[in-house]
Structure 1
């Protein structure tokens, strides 16, 4: 798909995050579960998929014809960064044909000392035609990533960094501020648990939105129900 086709495909729509980490019930060594999640999402009107690891991305692209936002989650000593942290992960994602490559766009430094903006510039220099999304937490980091060449900025890390600790719900004001001030396209992601919140995020100015846990993590969904029931008791 061309960049314009990808933009038109996802604009105003729901991208479903289909991920399972090793400690989660839906993770299997051989894979095969996330492609089924992606097929279900596609059948119900999702406009794109977000996925983690080359294996899952490759399997998903074999069964659905939707744009894929690709990431590789990996921990590195000495940094809290964990979403597509080094150029090695970037190379692997580009090689498997991700439509949009997502990287962490927060204020911490990478293992080689690069800022998020420096890393995005390096990606764009190496892969000038690759669409890049920066998973951000605040306006300063989002603007820096957009200036460095990020095509999309996501609210993914809002509430998950020391600077934004305590933000445990969708920050519609932040989405609106990004839409007003940031030249990159805004993808709302994180803490979206209901269809009503999804619609409100779009009204706030999001170009598109990503929902994961509320759709594809049954343990997390069950926990919300059981917590509500136990609180009621």
Structure 2
């Protein structure tokens, strides 16, 4: 609850209490879970070195326990951090591990999300052919599951891929169709952000910035702050 409200100090206090209690009880899985929560919290704040420390401990303990759900969460979270830090090789390696574990435990939702994130990282790393290769499976899983969040992410990936391949009209069409069905502030902020990337139209920059400012006022995520800085820099 505190994390969702952006009260990171209070959330951290609770997670540290959970960690202490789990350590005192000798509950190794509880320790792994608490470390993971602390890592994800620090990542949301943009405290990446601290986050990596927690998540690596979480990963090591989850591996020791053969706690596959914990492994999948840890490698995904680490991949996300290295992607933000633009260490794309490390990010892709961690996403590959997440994909492998998701297949082992037959968790289609985690698999779909990991494929999306790997695909977007491949695009950022200019490995367009590799991104194109995993795109069909990504979209297929998202459509089969019908999970709105995953479907949204997969369609954004589709648009990013089309844009990277020089298909601007296709990329715009995907985003404009998305805008009709996905209307939350987060979704609209993301859609307008990518429409601005493609078209460089001021109206899309303005709409995206307005949405991100609102989102940041409610939950001060590092991602929202970075998007605002980027859009502001485009004067």
Whether TM exceeds 0.5 here: the answer is no
Choose between structure 1 and 2: higher strand proportion: 1
What's the TM-score once normalised by structure 1's chain length? 0.30
Q: Which has the higher Rg, Structure 1 or Structure 2?
A: 2
What's the TM-score once normalised by structure 2's chain length? 0.30
Choose between structure 1 and 2: higher helix proportion: 2
With a CA cutoff of 8 Å and minimum separation of 6, indicate the structure with the bigger relative contact order.
1
